[in-house]
Amino acid sequence: MADAVPADAEAILAVKDACWREAYAHLLPPEFLAHGLGGDPQRTERWRQLLAHDAAGRFALVRRRGRVVGFAGAGPARAEDDPPRVDDLRELYTAYVLTEMYGTGAARAVVDRVLGRGPAILWVFEDNPRARAFYAKLGFAPDGAGKLDEIGGRRLSEIRLARQMPPEKV
């Protein structure tokens, strides 16, 4: 586990694209998944810039045998998503691990690293049972907020999941 740096942008995008193809094949058209994700040099540059500005502790990645196999990014809850009014509320912006890493604890570790254990929110496709089950194990549950997103020519429903502050250990 390590903090992500600008030089990791291409590897992170390769993981993200592979994960979209693995996780969203039932949601998005095959032609979009085959051609609509990568190939834009500006996309890589945007990620380099993102990782260059205040990325330490906000973006982390998992390597296996030197290869990036997962990553996550988090930060303050975004105001445009009308987050619940909770002190120090964080938002998980992105989290992906390759299927080869399922069940290894890598996803939990990378999410915990960027999110911490306090109150948090995230958005997930409503029709994504694997991700929803994973987040439920981390204490997240639907909070009633939802939105529609248009991706690849399809309108997809997203729901917001929220996690409250875990009880203190005695």
169 pLDDT more than 50: no
Q: Where are the domains of the chain?
A: 2-163
CA–CA separation, 168 vs 117, rounded Å?
Answer: 11
CATH of domain 2-163: 3.40.630.30
Crossing angle of the two packed helices 41-52 and 9-23, in degrees rounded to 10: 110
pLDDT attached to residue 56: 58
Q: What is the C-alpha separation between 68 and 58, in angstroms, rounded?
A: 17
What is the average pLDDT across 86-96? 91
* pLDDT tens per residue across span 27-62: 999 999 988 787 678 999 999 999 998 665 699 999
Q: Dump pLDDT digits (tens) for 99-140.
A: 999 999 999 999 999 999 899 999 999 999 999 999 999 999
pLDDT given for residue 165 in this prediction: 58
Residue 170 has pLDDT above 60, yes or no: no
Beta strand ranges found along 7-77 (DSSP E):
59-64, 67-76
Mean pLDDT over the full length of the chain:
90
